[in-house]
Chains A and B, each alone.
Chain A
Amino acid sequence: MEQILQTIIIGLSNGLIFALVALGYTLVYGIIELINFAHGDLFMLGSFIAFVLISSVFVITADTPLTLMVAQIALIIAITMIATAAINLSIERVAYKPLRNAPKLAPLISAIGMSFVLQNIALLIFGPANKSVNAILPSVNILSAVGITGVTISAEQVFVAIVTIPLLIALTWFVNKTRQGRAMRATAQDPDTAGLMGVNVDRTIAITFLIGGALAGAAGVVQILYNNTSVWNLGFRFGLNAFTSAVLGGIGNLQGAVLGALVLGLINAFSDRYLAANWTNAIVFAVLIGILVFKPTGLLGQQLADRA
């Protein structure tokens, strides 16, 4: 029982990180029907940017005083989000925007190319081996403080929740309550008509890439502080999970992406714990294929089928 609870906690923590990346896939797909294969790699770059900031710029160690550490981590998250947002925006300008009116396959191939470019940039700068940071978050069990034993929630897991959950809430608010959010929803449903209503479609698409990029950056920081390591092809495994999450929830559907990510996080954790870690990728692929064959609209429904 305790073991199962523990696995659930691990699964949900993983799932929250997947969710930030999955939202990037689903936002972009929702708005221009492009599967941005470079998105997982952008997340990888985010974790490397955080790696440099943690190990070389701010030089945070486990001995750094807590308040200073909190301030530095907040700053690192902000810098990384800005950097990955800017990179994603540039990718859109260079690799996708010129192909806006080309057949659908063209930007898709461009996205695969972008994925290789980002991976090779990481390979060139950081080399083929894993890069690690020391564990800097205090290793305490939050639950033992309130007298629960047997199950642990670590400071890292609390950190994951503290960063991801407010971002998820902020995104929901932005999309549903702001003028720019309305422009995004209208563009996702019908770009031409959104333009006829006065929406600047090009700008709206650019903002979507900015937001997706920023979320991937935040996920990158969270991942390196949670797992303490990054590698050039990290984007592939994470990207696979995040993309499967988005499809599982119904691609184009924001809540669906978060739900799908939590489910995928749990699948990962249970597979790692009770099966074997080297089977996990195969299981994720099986889930992906299963959804595409049996329920291509995902759990909460794809939000495109009703386009007029």
Chain B
Amino acid sequence: MALLEIRDIHTYYGAIHALRGVTMSVEEGEIVTLIGSNGAGKSTTLRTISGLLRPRQGEIHLRGKRIDGLRPHEIVELGVCQSPEGRRVFARMTVHENLEMGAFSRREKVPTADYDRVYDLFPRLRERTAQRAGTLSGGEQQMLAIGRALMSAPKVLLLDEPSMGLAPILVEQIFTIIKTINESGTTVLLVEQNALMALGIANRGYILQSGEIVLTDTAAVLAGNEAVQRAYLGGD
């Protein structure tokens, strides 16, 4: 049974039919990437999984338990946490308070080891624990957004465009860290416009176009696919 399974979901923004029957699955331990151009419906897919949007049709299952129709906070408690597009850190809270918010869904006392794990992944954040998140650089905010999501100890980590707006060297760093997070046991669903980087670390990929999955295969095959190269990898 897949860890996360999305079956034929249709999501609307008002009258706009944004997702037109998206079906995909994520197996335990994988990195799966969802690739598509601007406006294809990538973020909409993640927002639907997280419960910020309700699909009008279709089902979403987490280890066989149906989660579509649940509210965002209930979905986090079941182990699906998202680092949203545009980072969305709590600007007026400190770095450490942001991480505390990440652990909000865990009712037990959060061990310091969990904070240390995030600070070890992102040493830059450790230097800035007491600094307000709004004053961090874009790259640091992205690290904080990922670290914050990790604090919920998710089974599936949803990452929405973690490379957006970052310098190439930082992008590389972030992707290396995503790989590390995955190797330590967290399943990742990665939404990216930077298809080359995403396919570089993913096991499998889905190509989303105008709200529909048009292609799916292993990352290696997709990276070699001519149409994919033309459309998303800047090849010719």
Contacts and interface: CB of A to CB of B under 8 A. Distances in A.
Contacts of A308: 86-89, 91, 134
A303 interface: yes
Interface centre among A179, A198, A201, A307 (most CB of B within 10 A): A198
A170 interface: no
Interface residues of B, number: 29
B93 interface: yes
Contacts of A182: 97, 100-101, 104
Contacts of A195: 51-52, 71-73
Interface centre among B84, B87, B106 (most CB of A within 10 A): B84
A192 B52 contact: yes
Interface residues of A, number: 22
Interface of A: 179, 182-183, 185-186, 189-190, 192-202, 303, 306-308
Given A186-B90, A307-B91, A198 B104 contact: yes
Interface of B: 50-52, 71-73, 76-77, 81-82, 84, 86-93, 97, 100-102, 104-106, 134, 148, 152
Contact of A197 (B51, B52, B87, B102): B102
Contact of A192 (B84, B92, B97, B105): B84
B92 A189 contact: yes
A200 B104 CA distance: 10
**What's the dominant secondary structure at chain B's contact region?**
loop
Contacts of A198: 73, 76-77, 104-106, 152
Nearest to B80: A196
A172 to B, nearest CB: 16
A197 B92 contact: no
B73 A303 contact: no
B84 A197 contact: no
B76 A197 contact: yes
Given A192-B52, A308-B86, A197 B101 contact: yes
Nearest to A188: B92
A58 to B, nearest CB: 42
A124 to B, nearest CB: 39
Contacts of B51: 195
